[in-house]
Amino acid sequence: MKSILSLAALLSLAACSSNTQPTGLSEEENRQLNEAAAMLDANAVDLNAMAPSNVTGETSHDTEG
């Protein structure tokens, strides 16, 4: 009985594997990914360009008087 269950488990595992996996992207998928990458690059912001050049620990609105 144990050998029958083991054989059934092995057969069910073999049935789960398939060799029909895609090998890569289609030409259309590749084109869409390239367009999306170009759009993201165009919308990218250089954080160094946004940072102030003189960063100090002081604030411009001191309330001490």
Residue 40 and residue 26: Cα distance in Å, rounded?
A: 21
Q: Contact at 8 Å (CB) between 33 and 25?
A: yes
Instruction: Say if pTM beats, i.e. exceeds, 0.75.
Output: no
Structure tokens, 53 = 């050049």
User: What's the pLDDT at 21?
Assistant: 65
What are the residues whose beta carbons fall under 8 Å from the beta carbon of 14, sequence distance 6 or more? none
For residue range 16-48, list pLDDT tens digits in order.
666 666 678 899 999 999 999 998 888 887 767
